[in-house]
Amino acid sequence: MGLVGAMVIVGVLLVSGLTHRVVDRAHAQAAADAAALAGVAEGRPAADAIARANDVALISFDEDENQVTVEISTPDGIQAIATAERRLEAFD
């Protein structure tokens, strides 16, 4: 196989590992975004249900008058934070 073949294999393994990590991070962020949106619309129980449906744990839920911030963690330990804002605007 030689040195070039070994280097190609190592390169493929590195790229594969990096790609897997990027995909996992994107999944975590999407789950956090969904949980924040559910939380701002329907409260903590909805945020927790969405987190569980996405196989992540809801670590924190902070709600003020018009905003919710959540933090989630994946089984692999990747954490993500998202904030959703409630907008009360009249439609014309």
**Domains (range + CATH), the chain:** 2-85 (3.30.1300)
Position 63 scores a pLDDT of 95
In order along its 92 residues, the chain shows pLDDT tens digits of: 687 666 667 666 666 666 767 788 999 999 999 999 999 999 999 999 999 999 999 999 999 989 999 999 999 999 999 999 998 776 65
Residue at token pair 């998202």: 82
Position 65 scores a pLDDT of 86
Position 6 scores a pLDDT of 66
Residue 46 CA to residue 55 CA, distance in Å, equals: 14
Residue 7 and residue 15 in contact, taking contact as beta carbons nearer than 8 Å: no
Position 90 scores a pLDDT of 62
pTM comes to 0.77
